[in-house]
Chains A and B, each alone.
Chain A
């Protein structure tokens, strides 16, 4: 008896990260 093997696909999470803040003024 042949068993059919299945694999769940990888989750797709497209991300963008809030940049951490690590604690003279520019003259323009």
Chain B
């Protein structure tokens, strides 16, 4: 449709299925089938509701004038809705509410009885830790066998089922309340991450968002409890492998504290504070501070909500601190480790060590470097995708 045509304002507009969430002065409106969501003032949302109810744009504009005593730029508003892809060509192509699979399973997995069961498992783990302190996660648990290759393979391969379990918990908790999600592999700085896209989370009341956000860490805690209890029950090499994997679970739970990488904990903070886009608001504030310091032209602030503006005043200082801490660990631990691996592999080849030892070293080197190569490839792909998207707009 072309909104420049005046006749358009006299014809009803067909909208795709939209959801509305009233949050005081602002309303979140979204199209759940393609995960497009916006915040706009309550009067704008009321206009969309009038259009959805069958008003022509002219009728909706007249209603707006009677209701608010102001004249709305309806052509501009329609152009915005068209750009957001909220407007359908006709009723036949209007997207219906999307089907959400696995809702029932989500309801069972997060039922009160199930949650009580998880609490019992975690409590039992704590009892084991008190009675047998050697089962409390510690660095030495990783080295449950003398072969470092076996250790590396256990830690590397063993973490993937639990990464998927973490993401499956997010997805099921979302589906329980009717939200679809997608799983993909991405990166944060030099970390490879599995991530569940759940943009629809902004379309449900804030109190309903906590379980989908926390479900991943809850799954990590329950999985750790099962591993520790299994280790306590069976002993031997199986116990060693269980405790090594439990250690990686614990490290992943601690990783969530890097909230400046927009981890689950970040979304929890945003939800508690009533923010809508704290990361963008903080980065923008930080950028303008730096430009002011360098006496360079400072652009206008990006439009954000009042809660974001308030929180960004202190959160923006935490962003550079977090990045500095992480880059320090990169320089202090990661890079020296990589150099060490290269030197050792080269030394062994040069000293003509037995073939088994050389192969052993090469497997370790492959695992250690492979993870950073994958993170680098993901970064390049992301960069290329961003450039392509920018070229098309």
Which residues does A use to contact B, with CB under 8 Å?
A: 1-26, 28
Contact residues in B for A9 (Cβ distance below 8 Å): 28, 30, 37-39, 199, 202, 276-277
Tell me if B143 and A24 are in contact (CB < 8 A): yes
Tell me if B201 and A25 are in contact (CB < 8 A): no
Cα distance, A25 to B236, chains bound together (Å): 11
Name which residue of chain B comes closest to A20, CB basis.
B371
Cα distance, A26 to B120, chains bound together (Å): 28
Name which residue of chain B comes closest to A28, CB basis.
B239
Contact residues in B for A18 (Cβ distance below 8 Å): 159-160, 163, 191-194, 371
Give 19 CB contacts A-B under 8 Å. Answer: A2-B73, A4-B47, A8-B36, A9-B199, A10-B202, A10-B276, A10-B277, A11-B199, A14-B213, A15-B195, A16-B193, A16-B194, A16-B195, A16-B216, A18-B191, A19-B155, A19-B248, A26-B141, A26-B143
Contact residues in A for B212 (Cβ distance below 8 Å): 14
Tell me if B262 and A13 are in contact (CB < 8 A): yes
Contact status of A13 and B191, CB under 8 A, knowing A18-B159, A25-B143: no
Tell me if B334 and A6 are in contact (CB < 8 A): no
> Is B167 on the interface with A (CB-CB < 8 A)?
yes
Cα distance, A1 to B36, chains bound together (Å): 27
Cα distance, A18 to B252, chains bound together (Å): 8
Name which residue of chain B comes closest to A3, CB basis.
B73
| CB contact between A15 and one of B47, B156, B263, B368 (< 8 Å): that residue | B263
> Is B122 on the interface with A (CB-CB < 8 A)?
no
Contact status of A4 and B30, CB under 8 A, knowing A9-B202, A13-B196, A14-B198: no
Tell me if A11 and B240 are in contact (CB < 8 A): no
Q: Mark B271-289, 1 if CB is under 8 A from A, else 0.
A: 0000011111000000000
> Is B231 on the interface with A (CB-CB < 8 A)?
yes
Interface size (B, Cβ < 8 Å)? 89
Cα distance, A28 to B36, chains bound together (Å): 53
Cα distance, A2 to B155, chains bound together (Å): 59
Name which residue of chain A comes closest to B41, CB basis.
A4
Tell me if A3 and B334 are in contact (CB < 8 A): no
> Is B80 on the interface with A (CB-CB < 8 A)?
yes
Tell me if B73 and A7 are in contact (CB < 8 A): no
Name which residue of chain B comes closest to A10, CB basis.
B277
Cα distance, A9 to B80, chains bound together (Å): 15
- In this complex, the member of A17, A19, A23, A24 whose beta carbon has the largest number of chain B beta carbons within 10 angstroms is A17
Contacts A6-B44, A9-B37, A18-B160 aside, 15 further interface pairs with beta carbons under 8 A come to: A5-B41, A6-B39, A6-B80, A7-B305, A9-B39, A12-B197, A15-B195, A16-B163, A16-B166, A16-B193, A17-B255, A18-B193, A18-B194, A20-B372, A23-B337
Cα distance, A12 to B200, chains bound together (Å): 8
A21 to B: closest C-beta gap in Å: 5
Contact status of A13 and B71, CB under 8 A, knowing A23-B148, A23-B340: no
For window 347-393 of B, CB contacts with A under 8 Å fall at 364-365, 367-368, 371-372
Q: Mark B43-72, 1 if CB is under 8 A from A, else 0.
A: 110010000000000000000000000111
Contact residues in B for A11 (Cβ distance below 8 Å): 197, 199
